[in-house]
Structure 1
Amino acid sequence: MKRTILLAALVAAASQAPAKAQDLRIGLGSAITSLDPQFHVVGSNSALARNFFDGLVNQDDRQQIVAGIADTWHVVEPTVWEFHLRPGLRFHNGQPVEAEDVAASLRRVPEVKNSPSSFLPFVRPITAVEVVDASIVRIRTQEPYPLLPNALSRIAILPRTVEHADTAAFNDGSAMIGTGPLRFVRYAPGDRVEAEAAEPQPGAAPLPWKHVTFRFLTNDAARVAALLSGDLDMIEQVPSADIARLRHDARVGIASGASNRIMYLHLDHAREHSPFVRGKDGQEIANPLRDPRVREALSLSINREALVERVMDGEGTPAGQLVPQGYFGFVPGIAAPKADLAKAKQLLTASGLPNGFRMTLHVTNDRYPNDGRVGQALAQMFTRAGIQTQLEAQPGSVFFARASNLDYSLIMGGAAAETGEASSVLRPLLATWNPQLGDGSGNRGRYSNPRFDAALHAALTTVDDAKREALLQEATSIAIGENAVIPLFSLANSWATAGKVHYRPRSDGYTLAINATIGDTGGN
C-alpha cells in the first residue's frame, strides 16, 4: 500500500509539473540557399537565421520593433542614432557581446560575395559606425533616416571574430555563432538543419525544447503526410486545400494568422507596344495598359472575394493596397474594390477599346500558395470582361529572371512588408527605377510618377512619425489611384501541429522555435 500511495503521489506531482524539454521536429515548406544570415535576402533564409541570431533590434510577432542586442535606442540628432546594448549578453561560444561586434557585423554586409539579393540596401544610408564604449554604439546616416531601426532588424549581429568569414564557413558550421535561442549542430543541404537549445540570455525564459530539427519538405503532400504519420511535430505553409480537413482531425491543431504578404499585378507602363498585348485580330496595337481607364477596368473585373474563398479556401483577405490594415502607412479610406463587370466594360469602351483586346498573364506555379490556380481564375475574369486572356504559368526560376528583364506585359507577384511599414513595398515596387539610389528594384512595370516619388522620399527622411505616416499614405493614394499596381489579396500564414505542440503565429510567416510551446492538449 505504501508503494501504491508513493506511486500515486509521483504521478500527481508529475501532472502538475511543467512539461520537460523534448525534441521538436519541424517541416519547412522552403529550402534555404545558405546558413550565412547576411548572404541572401529571401524569406526562408531569414526565418531560419532568426532562430540562431538576433539583430541590433528585433521584430515581434506583428513586426513591431522590440529589443534585440540593444535594449534602448534614441536619436541624438537627425542623422545620429545611439544604441545601448543589453547587459550580460553572450554569443554561443561564451564571448560577451560588445559594441565592436555590432560594428564588425555592419562592416561585413557589403563584403559578402555573390549574393543573389544583398542586404546592402538596409545599411546603404549608414555613413559611419562609432564604438563609444563596450555597450554603446553610434550610427551616423547621410541624411535623416527614421527607418534605421526597422532596417537594422534585418541584419544579424555576429561576433567580430567572423567578420571576414566567407559564406562557406557558415554552411560548414564553423562561423555559426549567434545569440539566438538555438545553437547550431548540423546542416545537411537540401535535407535538414539540426540545433539544440542555447543557454538562455539574461531575462529570457528557457526553451521547452532540448533539440530542434528543421526538415526541408517543399512538397505540400509530403509535408502533411509526415505530420500525420508522426514523423514531424509541426509544419508550416499548410496547403489551403487541406486546412478544412485538418481542422476536423483531433490529432492536429491549426494556427493561422494574417500575413504581411500581398499578392498583386504589375502592368507594363513603359512601352508604347507591349510584347504580350495584341488587338482582338492579333495585330499589334498601342499598349492599352498605359491607359488608367484600362487598368481600372482590369481591377474592376476581379472578384477578390471569390479568389479568397474559392481559390485560396478562405485563407486570405481581399486587398486594395499594398500593406494590410494595422501596418504603418495603411490608408483607412482605401478598400478592396468590388467586382463590377458593367463598369469595367464601360471603361474599356471609353478608352477606345469597346471590343477589348488580347493579352497574356504570366504567373509562377511554384512560388506562392495556389499561384497557378489564382492565375487561371484571373484569366477567366479578364476574359469575361472582354479582355481575352491567355495564362502562362512558369517555375519561379524562369519567371523572375524574365520578369526582371521586362519580358512580360502583365505579371502576378507577391510583396511582403518585411520592415513592418509601407515604404518597404512602395519603394521597390513603385519608385521610379534608379539602381544608383536603390529605387524601384522590383519595379517590373516601370511605373513612374514624380508626385509619388516626392512623397515617398520625403517620408523616408521625415523623423516625425505622424508626418511620415501621412506622407506614406499620400504616396499610396497616388499610386493606387492610378492602379499603378493592382492589389489582389493578402495571404494568411498557417501552421499545423500535432500532439501537445502549440504555435503562436507571426505576420512575417517565420517559423521560430521560441513560438512553439507545449500544451496540455493537442490543437490550437
Structure 2
Amino acid sequence: MLTIKSAAMALALTTAMAAPAIAATMRWAPQRDIVSMDPYSYGDTFTLSVLNHVYEGLVRYDATLQIEPALAEKWEVVSPTVWRFHLRKGVKFHDGADFTADDVLASLKRVSDQTSPLRGNLPAYVSSEKIDDHTVDIHVTENYPLLLNDLTNIHIFDQGWLVTNKAEAPTDVAKGVEGYATSHANGTGPFKFISRKPDVETVFDVNPDWWDKRQHNIDRIVMTPITSPATRVAALISGEIDFTNQAPLQDIPRLQASSNVKVLSNNELRTIFLVMNQSPKAFESDVTDKNPLQDIKVRQALYHAIDADAIQKVVMSGLSRTTGSLVAPAIPGYVPDLDKRLSYDPDKAKALLAEAGYPNGFSFSFLCRNTEFVNEEQICQAVSAMWARVGLRPNLNVGPTTIQDAKFDTLQFDVGTLGWANEPMLDSYSILVQVVHSKTGNAGVFNWGAWKDTEIDGLIDEAGRTIDRTARLALQSKALQRANDLSMFIPVHQQPMAWAVGSNVKDVLQLSDNKARHWLTHMAD
C-alpha cells in the first residue's frame, strides 16, 4: 500500500531523476527533514549541519575539528570581557550584498534575543559593537574561555535581507512561530538555497562566488528525506540516491554486501540519556499529590531497572557504546570514573520503589520520538518493558520530533529521551550550561524538566568564568559527578554513526560530530 508520505517521496525521487541532468548532483536521503531553513529556529544539530552548506559563522571547525577562520580572518582578546574580530573583506551574500560588520551585529542581536531558541549557544554573550565596516567587538561575561567554540554554529545573516523581509525577530519551531526565514535563505556559504518542499525535497546549488577555495565537485544537492529504512536501503542499492547519513543498523550487513554501496561507521559524540520532569507535580500519573520523580530513590529505581547491555546487543546491533557518563570520552571534561553505570538490578529497583512509598509502582508518561535518534522508538519500547517488569506503568508516547519537542518544551511529559553531542562547543560545558543548569537567563535552555541543584549551578557558573583549562575542566567534572550522584539523568549510550554512499561518491569526510560536509565531498568523475 502506497501511503501519502511514501508517495511524496516517490514523486520527489522520480522528479529528481526526470529533471535535466546537472553535472555532479549529490542525491542525499536523510531519515528526516530539517525543521526549518532558519538556523536560529531550534537547537537541532542535524538542521544546523545541513544549513552549514548555506550559512557560515565567523569561525568554523576544520577537517580535524580544530577551530579555523571563516568569515572572520583573525581575532584577539582586547580585555577580559571583549573579543575583537577582523572580518573577511570581499565576501558576498548569495543575493550579491556585501558582508560587513552590520550583518554580524544584526545576527548576534537576533540569535541572543530572549525569544530565540538558540540563545543558549551563546551563554556568555552580552553585546556587540561595530568598530568599522570590517571590525566587530563582542562583549562577553568576564574571562569566558569558549567564545570561539560557541561561534562555530552562529550563522551570519544579511542585515538588509532581514529588514527587507521583516525577519529581524527570531522564529521558534517548538512554539510554532514562523517567518520569512523559515522557508527562505540567504547566506555566504558554498551552496545556495534554491527551493524547498517540506518533507519532500530541498535543493541547493553550488555558489560559484564563494570566498573560499572550492574543494568539492558537486554542482547540486537534492535532499529527499526517506523515513522508511527499507525504502532508504533499496534506493541506495538501486542507485536512486547517493548518500544517507542514517543507514539503518539492521541493514548494514545487506548494504556491505552490495557491490555499489560503501558503509562508514563509528560511534559519534552524541550521548543518549533519559530526562525526568522534576517539577512539583507529575504531568500524567496516578500519583496526583506530588511528583514521584523528585525522589532520588525513584530515579535510582528507574535507572537500576534498565538493562543497557541488552539494549546495546539487541536494539543497537552491538554498535552503540554503553555509558554511565553524560559526555563521550572525546569530550573535554569526560572522566573515566564517571562512566560507571548503576547496576542492572530489578530486585533493587523494586526495593527502592517500596522504600519511596510505591511498592506497587505508579503510572507516568514516557515521551519519545520516532525521527530523531538512532532506533529511538525501539529503545523506548525496550525500556518501557523493563520498567513494567519492576511494577512501573509507563505510558509510551511516540511521535515525530517537531510534535514531541513542543511537549518537552512545555513540560508535557514525565520521562523522555534526550541526546547531546556538545556541539558546536565540543566541550562538556555545553551540556552543563544548556541542559544540567537550572533555567536562568541564557542557561538551562534545554532544562526541560525543572531540575535544579544550587551546588551544580555554582560549579557551572564558576567554570564559565575560569580561563585556566585544567581548573575549568575540573569544575565541570565535579558538576557531572554531582549530577551522577543525584541520578539527575539516566545515561544509556553513545549512539552509533552509520553512513552509506553509492558508487557515484568517490570521497566523503566522516568526523565524530556526525555532520556531512559536502563542500569537502568528491563525486566520481
**TM class, shorter-length:** 0.7 to 0.9
Q: Is the 8 A contact 1:495 1:503 kept in 2?
A: no
> Structure 2: how far apart are the matches of 1:432 and 1:124?
13
C-alpha distance in 2 between matches for 1:106 and 1:354 = 49
Change (3 A) 1:458 1:214: same
- The structural deviation recorded for 1:21 is 6.2
1:413 maps onto 2:427 in alignment: no
C-alpha separation in 2, matches of 1:455 and 1:92:
44
How far the C-alpha of 1:75 sits from its partner, in A, is 1.8
Amino acid in structure 2 at the alignment position of 1:254 = V
Residue in structure 1 matched with residue 294 of structure 2 by the alignment: 290
Q: Distance in 1 between matches of 2:484 and 2:188?
A: 41
Separation of aligned partners in 1, 2:213 and 2:166: 31
Give 2:220's match in structure 1, choosing from 211, 215, 230: 211
Please name the residue that 1:228 is paired with: 237
Structure 1, unaligned runs of 5 or more: 1-19, 279-283
2:248 maps to a residue whose letter is P
SS in 2 for 1:237: coil
* Aligned position for 2:149: 150
Cα contact 1:262–1:490 (8 A) shared by 2? yes
What amino acid maps onto 2:418 in structure 1?
Answer: G
Quick check: 203-212 or 488-497, which moved more? 203-212
CA gap of 1:37–1:506, structure 2 versus 1, over 3 A, is same
Q: Which residue of 2 aligns with 1:141?
A: 140
Q: Distance in 1 between matches of 2:352 and 2:122?
A: 45
Q: 2:270 aligns with which of 257, 261, 266?
A: 261
Shift of 1:131: 2.9
What TM-score, normalized to structure 1?
0.83
What is the CA-CA distance between 1:152 and the residue it aligns to? 1.8
Partner of 1:429: 435
Q: Distance between the aligned counterparts of 2:321 and 2:259, measured in 1? A: 27
Matched ranges for 1:117-516 at <5 A: 118-123=117-122, 125-164=124-163, 165-167=165-167, 169-170=180-181, 176-199=185-208, 201=210, 204-271=213-280, 275-276=284-285, 287-337=291-341, 339-341=343-345, 344-345=348-349, 348=352, 351=355, 355=359, 357-360=361-364, 362-367=366-371, 368-384=373-389, 386-396=390-400, 397-418=402-423, 419-434=425-440, 437-501=441-505, 502-516=507-521
The 8 Å contact of residues 120 and 443 in structure 2, kept in 1 or not, is answered as no
State the distance in 2 between where 1:160 and 1:345 align.
56
Out of 48, 57, 60, the position equivalent to 2:59 is 57
Runs of 4+ with >6 A deviation: none
Q: Superposition RMSD on alpha carbons, in Å? A: 3.1
Change (3 A) 1:222 1:350: closer
- Answer yes or no: is the 8 Å Cα contact 1:274–1:409 preserved in 2: yes
Amino acid in structure 2 at the alignment position of 1:422: S
Q: Counterpart of 1:180 in structure 2: which amino acid?
A: G
Once residues 388 and 366 of structure 2 are traced to their aligned partners in structure 1, the CA distance between those partners, rounded to angstroms, is 15
Determine helix, strand or coil for the equivalent of 1:28: coil
> For residue 5 of structure 1, what is the aligned residue in structure 2?
none
1:277–1:287 Cα contact (<8 Å) kept: no
State how far apart, in whole Å, the 2-side matches of 1:517 and 1:305 are.
38
Superposed, which structure 2 residues align to 1:37-56 within 5 Å? 37-56=39-58
d(CA) in 2 for partners of 1:110 and 1:334?
A: 33
Given that 2:509 and 2:516 are in contact with CA atoms closer than 8 Å, whether structure 1 keeps it comes out as no
State whether residues 277 and 357 of structure 1, in contact with CA within 8 Å, keep that contact through their aligned partners in structure 2.
no
Q: Distance in 2 between matches of 1:44 and 1:118?
A: 15
**How far apart are the structure 2 equivalents of 1:500 and 1:371?**
30
1:437-457: CA deviations, max 9, x gaps? 133333333222111010011
SS at match of 1:372: helix
Residues 94-103 or 180-189, more deviating = 94-103
Q: How many residues align?
A: 488
Distance 1:352 1:194 in 2: 55
Q: Percent identity?
A: 26
Q: Which runs of 5+ in 2 are unaligned?
A: 1-21, 168-178
Scaled by the length of structure 2, what TM-score is found?
A: 0.83
Kindly indicate whether the alpha-carbon contact (under 8 Å) linking 2:295 and 2:356 is maintained by their aligned counterparts in 1.
Answer: no
